[in-house]
């Protein structure tokens, strides 16, 4: 199956040009996402944006993009999505950016390794199943804001140094007047200023996100010392939410840099404090109704929602290859620190992989929250993979383990032994993906080539290089052996 992703925009190319001229735009930036999940771009003067570009495309070298083409088949095209046209809130030169899909210039077909296309195929597959019309997504992407982060690795040394004016370790620093007021480890949720030193910074980020068309619901300090933060976006459909998350990371990183800070979405940058996750709220709707709500179900969940959870939990080891896709992700997914490592579901319990929020009894608010992902994920691939796992659960009526509302860290050993945990390393989840991915191939949403390319890229570029290098703690353990 191949779906047509061009010509579906509600905004016309002429309207994009009118918007650009009215805003005084001088530069047009074309953006697309590489396989690991980083925005790539190049720019042209406004005069270079003609209506034909939206159908004919604009060329680039695909062999220089991570996870894309070989050098002997490098020419690729970008097709801008008119609906994505946004006046950039960051840049000094008035710039309009367009999020693009990748197309083969010879066949004119959508590129099967384009993550955005995979997300669009997943949305089309959902409609084709007849199960639902639309899925809604609300990721909560946490991050840290530091004053400095230095790191290096070479043949004779390897190190990182992090510093933060908010870090509790600076309570004894003799660097002029030390005014105190810093969150203690795991106590950053959430005292007011002056302990929270980043209120104005987060507020500025929030306003810039709104300026870029991203709806924001709330911002706050998170649990970690040293500037852990969260800014929550209002839910949206899958591809639009993934586009929004790319904008989210872009705006946060740039506003922080403009103020002399550095933002990182690394899942576990600090030892012995909370890591940063991306709890993914999701629901399915049909004919304007929420399929996940049932007033008689556990936590007001329907059968479909329970089976959807069953699919997520069954396929979680493979899913994490896309949803928690770095070696550092598994420094976060460990016991303690509210880490969601237990393959169970529960209302309110934050150590379960799937939590059912119970803030409201409204049918419209009923959703499930998959807590194991983090924001190093490529959102197009992660959201699509979660949807495919959930749909597989509904199609096969997969029953999850019984809900568990106890404190999962306080269970007796024999009871705890019955609960499965997420895998403990990137290598393990990549092996799980290699063994369990048929559910992703339904409807040609993911392709075997994409999955093989992902596994090979992650193994050769991340797992193996990290495994080869001495770790600083090894010197503490073994230098005198």
Model confidence band, residue 71 (pLDDT cutoffs 50, 70, 90): low
Q: Is it the case that residue 210 has pLDDT exceeding 80?
A: yes
Residues in contact with 26: Cβ distance below 8 Å, sequence separation at least 6, in sequence order: 45, 46, 93, 94, 95
Which has the closest alpha carbon to 377: 327, 312, 326?
326
Alpha carbons 480 and 476: distance in angstroms, whole number: 9
* Start-to-end Cα distance in the chain: 59
Is residue 5's pLDDT more than 60? no
- pLDDT for the residue 418: 83
> Residue 1: is its pLDDT beyond 60?
no
Residue 436 has pLDDT above 60, yes or no: yes
Helix axes 379-395, 115-129, angle to 10 degrees: 20
pLDDT for position 416? 79
**Residue ranges of the alpha helices (H) in 196-302?**
199-211, 238-258
Q: Output the pLDDT for position 412.
A: 77
Whether the predicted pLDDT of 411 surpasses 80: no
pLDDT of 7 above 60 = no
For range 411-434, the mean pLDDT: 90
406 compared with 316, residue with greater pLDDT: 316
Considering only 2-16, 38-52, 151-165, 404-418, which range has the smallest mean pLDDT?
Answer: 2-16
Q: What CA–CA distances, in Å, run from 61 to 72, 114, 117, 373?
A: 11, 14, 18, 31
In the predicted model, what is the mean pLDDT of residues 401-405?
A: 86
Res 74: pLDDT: 78
Going by pLDDT thresholds of 50, 70 and 90, the confidence category of residue 70 is confident
**pLDDT greater than 80 at residue 388:** yes
> Looking at residue 54, what is its pLDDT?
95
pLDDT for residue 462 is more than 80: yes
Q: What is the pLDDT of residue 6?
A: 46
Instruction: Provide the pLDDT for residue 337.
Output: 66
Tell me the catalytic residues. Answer: 61, 140, 142, 222, 230, 279, 350, 369, 371
Structure tokens at 198: 């980043």
Instruction: Give the residue ranges of DSSP H helices in 283-378.
Output: 303-323, 329-332
Q: Which of 131-140, 320-329, 333-342, 415-424 has the lowest mean pLDDT?
A: 333-342
Query: Among positive and negative, which fits the CA dihedral 188, 192, 196, 200?
Result: positive
pLDDT computed for residue 361 by the predictor? 85
Q: Is 246 helix (H, G, I), strand (E, B) or coil?
A: helix
Q: What is the structure's pLDDT at 377? A: 98
Confidence of residue 15 (pLDDT cuts 50, 70, 90): very high
**Where does the pLDDT of residue 63 fall: very low under 50, low under 70, confident under 90, or very high at 90 and above?**
confident
pLDDT in the model for residue 180: 87
């Amino acid at each position: 199956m191949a779906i047509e992703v061009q010509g579906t925009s509600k905004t016309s190319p002429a309207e994009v040009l009118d918007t650009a001229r009215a805003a005084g735009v001088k530069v047009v930036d074309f953006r697309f996402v590489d396989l690991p999940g980083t925005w790539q771009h190049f720019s042209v003067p406004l005069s270079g944006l003609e209506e034909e570009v939206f159908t004919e495309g604009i060329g680039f070298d695909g062999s220089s993009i991570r996870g894309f083409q070989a050098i002997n088949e490098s020419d690729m095209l970008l097709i801008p999505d008119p609906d994505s046209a946004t006046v950039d809130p960051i840049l000094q030169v008035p710039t309009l950016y367009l999020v693009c899909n990748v197309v083969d210039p010879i066949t004119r077909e959508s590129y099967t390794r384009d993550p955005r296309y995979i997300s669009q195929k997943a949305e089309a597959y959902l409609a084709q199943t007849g199960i639902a019309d639309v899925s809604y997504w609300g990721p909560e992407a946490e991050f840290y804001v530091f004053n400095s982060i230095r790191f290096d690795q070479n043949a004779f040394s390897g190190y990182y140094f992090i510093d933060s004016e908010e870090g509790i370790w600076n309570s004894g620093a003799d660097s002029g007047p030390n005014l105190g007021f810093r969150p203690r480890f795991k106590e950053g949720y959430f005292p007011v200023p002056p302990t929270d030193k980043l209120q104005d910074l987060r507020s500025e980020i929030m306003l810039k996100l709104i300026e870029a068309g991203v709806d924001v619901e709330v911002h706050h300090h998170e649990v970690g010392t040293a500037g852990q933060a969260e800014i929550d976006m209002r839910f949206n459909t899958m591809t639009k939410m993934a586009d929004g998350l790319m904008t989210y990371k872009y705006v946060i990183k740039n506003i922080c840099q403009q103020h002399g800070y550095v933002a990182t979405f690394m899942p576990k940058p600090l030892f012995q404090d909370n890591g940063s996750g991306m709890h993914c709220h999701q629901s399915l709707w049909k004919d304007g109704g929420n399929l996940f709500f049932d007033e008689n179900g556990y936590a007001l969940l329907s059968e479909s929602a329970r089976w959807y959870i069953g699919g997520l939990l069954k396929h979680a080891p493979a899913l994490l290859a896309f949803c928690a896709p770095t070696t550092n992700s598994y420094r976060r997914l460990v016991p303690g620190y509210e880490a969601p490592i237990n393959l169970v579901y529960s209302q309110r319990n934050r150590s379960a992989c799937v939590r059912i929020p119970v803030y409201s009894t409204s049918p419209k608010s009923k959703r499930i929250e998959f807590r194991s992902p983090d924001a190093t994920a490529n959102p197009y691939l992660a959201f699509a993979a979660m949807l495919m796992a959930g749909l597989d659960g509904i199609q096969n009526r997969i029953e999850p383990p019984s809900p568990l509302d106890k404190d999962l860290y306080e269970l007796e050993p024999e009871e705890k032994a019955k609960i499965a945990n997420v895998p403990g390393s990137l290598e393990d989840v990549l092996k799980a993906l290699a063994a369990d991915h048929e559910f992703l191939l339904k409807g040609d949403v993911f392709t075997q080539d994409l999955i093989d390319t992902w596994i090979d890229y992650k193994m050769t570029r991340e797992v193996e290089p990290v495994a080869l290098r001495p770790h600083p703690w090894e010197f503490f353990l073994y230098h005198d052996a």
